[in-house]
Amino acid sequence: MNILMAINFLPEVDMYWSANSFIGNSGIQNIMTCNRFQKLCQYFHVSNRDLEPTRGHPNYDRLYKIRPVVQHISDTFITCYDLSREVAVDEAMIRFAGKLSFRQYMPAKPIKRGIKVWMLCDSNTSYLSKFEVYLGKNTLCNENGLGYNVVTKLTVHLKLTHRHIFFDNFFTSVPLMKKLLNDGLYACGTVRVNRKDFPNELKKPRDVKDRGQFQVLQKGNTPLTASVWKDKKLVHHLSTLSQPDDVVSASRRVGADILQLRQPQCVSAYNKYMGGVDLHDQLRTNYDVGRNSKKWWKHLFWFLINCCIR
């Protein structure tokens, strides 16, 4: 019924039981009464609250209210589909404005306040393979940083599969690229120039001034390369999935003219395959199942249902 309500959206739930033939939904009316539906929603739970560990208990879990669904769906996503070679890691936001200890504020995102979820999606089909609800920096962070730990945790089931992992500059670092390479995974991502071990000569190179110019450096005999390419501005990448001399063409429109530029292969691959999580978000929100609630775990529950439908 909730899925049908998402497809045939009405502002208020009780409108589906309206006597007006232009508003009411006879199919939903024949299943149950409005009062029964609202009572089921009111008393709906997915875990036994009587057994919930209290704060401070060794088994305390901030996701206890939704943990059975999270665990079951997470296991199912991994086992029911084989990912293609290219996968992307990024973040998604679940809108929630209430009081919550791990609610995040991200002013640059369309959804500025809510629950953050780290996601690993197939870059070609946008299939969600693994996700992790962000409960705060201290829960995942160590000496290598939050981004390092998120990517290694999301890709642990992909070890030795030689897949190509794509992520943005929040995650990219030299230690992460080395770790993934040791795990049998290749990776590519934009990088912040102030990251440790990024080559100083590529931060503001003198030989890269005009649009289409680039410079690539390789670390010894390893597949790890660092590159800078000039588009409208300088773009920096770290990669282990391409040779330093791999170059492809790129087209850019400037007014009525089309510019034919040269760019490193890692830049082309990143632009092509980084959007897996964004595409998943777009398709997931086409028909948003569920209604607003003051309970944070219900927002996460409906988020997971939308991911399953997607």
The enclosing domain of 257 has a CATH number of: 3.90.350
The Cα–Cα gap between 121 and 128 comes to 4
Judge whether 113 lies within some domain: yes
> Which pLDDT does position 140 carry in this prediction?
53
Q: Please report where in the chains the tokens 């997971």 appear, as a residue.
A: 304
Examine the domain organization and report whether 130 and 222 are in the same domain: yes
Of 241, 220, 219, 217, nearest in space to 228 by CA: 217
Domain count, the chain: 2
The Cα–Cα gap between 67 and 63 comes to 5
Tokens matching residue 252: 């850019």
Q: Are 26 and 15 in contact (CB under 8 A)?
A: no
Confidence of residue 137 (pLDDT cuts 50, 70, 90): confident
The Cα–Cα gap between 162 and 148 comes to 18
Examine the domain organization and report whether 170 and 236 are in the same domain: yes
Quote the pTM value. Answer: 0.90
Mean pLDDT, rounded, of the chain: 91
Asked whether the predicted pLDDT for residue 138 surpasses 70, the reply is no
Confidence of residue 256 (pLDDT cuts 50, 70, 90): confident
Mean pLDDT, to the nearest integer, of 255-282? 91
Residues forming beta bridges with residue 121, ordered by sequence position: 88, 128
The Cα–Cα gap between 302 and 44 comes to 12
Judge whether 85 lies within some domain: yes
Examine the domain organization and report whether 66 and 176 are in the same domain: yes
Judge whether 199 lies within some domain: yes
Examine the domain organization and report whether 151 and 184 are in the same domain: yes
Judge whether 112 lies within some domain: yes
* Structural domain that includes position 35: 2-44
Judge whether 36 lies within some domain: yes
Q: Are 186 and 165 in contact (CB under 8 A)?
A: yes
Judge whether 310 lies within some domain: no
Examine the domain organization and report whether 111 and 142 are in the same domain: yes
Judge whether 306 lies within some domain: no
